A and B are shown apart, each in its own frame.
Chain A
Amino acid sequence: MEKSINAIMPGLCARVVVAEGDKISKSQEIAVINCMKTEISVPSEYNGVVKKIISKEWDELQVGDPMIIIETAE
C-alpha cells in the first residue's frame, strides 16, 4: 500500500537522505527539516520501499506536506 511520509514541522527541507528504491524501516530518518536554526529529523512511520521522492532541498514545507511516498509491505 502507498503511504506518504509528511513534514512534521514547518520549515525548509534541508535534505532527503533516502533514494527511490531504498528499503527503509520504521523510525529510520528519511529527511531533515531546517526550523528554528535547528536540523529536525523526519522519521519514517512505516517499513517499506521508497517509491517517490517529493521534497527537494530548499522547499518550504508546512506540517503535513508529503515529503516521500513509500510502498509498505501490508
Chain B
Amino acid sequence: MLQIKNGGIETLVEDWPGRLGYLGKGMSASGAFDNVGLGLANILVGNSFGEAGLEITGGFFEAQFGIDTAIAVTGSDMKPVLNEKAIPMWETISVSKGDIIKFSHIGEFGFRSYLAVAGGINVPEYLGSKSTCIFGSYGGFKGRKLAAKDELVFGKPDDEPSDSTGRKLKKEAVPTYKREWILRAMPGANTSPDYASEKGMDHLFEHTFKIQHTSNRSAYRLEELPDNFFARSDGGVGGSHPSNIIDHAYAIRGALNICGNTPILLIADGPTLGGYMCALNVINADLWKIGQGTPGRDFIKFKLTNQEEATEARINQKKLLSEASLL
C-alpha cells in the first residue's frame, strides 16, 4: 500500500500500451507518456514492462509505503529522497513499511519521473487498461491525478521483491536526455503536393521547434508555421483555413496535427478525430521522447524516416525493455 502525502503537480497511474482499440469510440490510448522510463523501471522491479506504475510530471510527489517492497525510479532526475536521504535512480532499491519517498522539482533534463513498484499498481482495469485518461477523467485511480490521503494498493509480485533489490541497468540501456529531442517521423497522411508545399514540408523537417508552455498529455503545441507551408489557399468544403479538412480520424498516438498555423503533436490523451490536416507521424518507438520534452524549455526536431526503420525501432525497443537490459 502507498499512502499519498502530496500528489505534486500531476501524478497519474499509467501502463503501456494503454487502452487500445477505442479510437472510434472517442477514447485515445492514454498510457505512459514515456513508456521507456516506465518500462525500464518495471523491468528493474521484476514486472512486465507494461505494468502500471506512477507517472510523476513536474515533481513534488510525496508518499509513504505501507509494506516492505522493491521500487525503481527512472525518468527526469527530480532528486528523489527516501526518508530525506538521496536514492539512486535507474536501479532497484528496497523500501520498508513507513518509509517516505519524496520528489523535488524537475531536473536539468526531462519532465517526467516514473516510479515502479514490485507487483505494479493495482487499480481496476477499464476497457483493458489501468491507464488514466486525465482529459476524459476515466481509468487509473478514479480517473484523476493523485492527491493527499489517496491510498494505492500494489499487485502481487511474481517473485519475492527482495530478489530484485540491487539490480542495475547496463549503461547503454539508460536513455540519454537532451533539451533538443530528435523525433523520427513518417510524413502523412496530408503532405505535399496536395495539402502542404514541398517547401513547407522541408521546413517541418529542418526547423527546430520550441515546445509551447501550454503542452500537456493531450497535445504538445509547437511554434507556428509560415503561411507558405500550405499548398492550398483554403480548406475547400472542409473549412476556410487551408489546414481545414473534412473530419477524419487522427492517427494517434503520434500525429502532427496542423491547426491553423500551429503544429500540434497529438499524444497520450489527445483527440481521436477532427477537422484539421495531419502532416506527419512520430514513430511509435520515439513517442517516449515527447513525454520527456519540457514545455516552455525544450525543443523538438523531426527526422525523416521510413516504415522499415520504424518497425525495426519497435523491435529494438522491445529488446531494450526486457531483462537483457539488466546488468
Contacts and interface: CB of A to CB of B under 8 A. Distances in A.
Verify whether A and B have any Cβ pair under 8 Å: yes
B215 A36 contact: yes
B9 interface: yes
Contacts of B213: 10-12, 34-36, 60
Given A9-B105, A40-B9, A35 B296 contact: yes
A9 B76 CA distance: 13
Contacts of B9: 9, 40
B294 A10 contact: yes
Interface in A1-44: 8-12, 34-38, 40
Category for how many chain B residues contact A: 10 to 19
Interface in B108-142: none
Contacts of A60: 213, 296
B297 A35 contact: no
B60 interface: yes
Nearest to A6: B105
A12 B214 CA distance: 9
Contacts of A73: none
Given A36-B58, A40-B58, A62-B296, 20 more contacts: A8-B58, A10-B106, A10-B213, A10-B294, A10-B295, A10-B297, A11-B213, A12-B296, A34-B214, A36-B10, A36-B215, A36-B217, A37-B216, A38-B216, A40-B9, A60-B296, A62-B297, A63-B105, A63-B106, A64-B105
9 residue pairs, one from A and one from B, having the closest CB atoms: A36-B216, A10-B296, A11-B213, A10-B297, A63-B105, A37-B214, A8-B105, A11-B296, A35-B213
Interface of B: 9-10, 57-60, 105-106, 213-217, 294-297
Interface of A: 8-12, 34-38, 40, 60-64
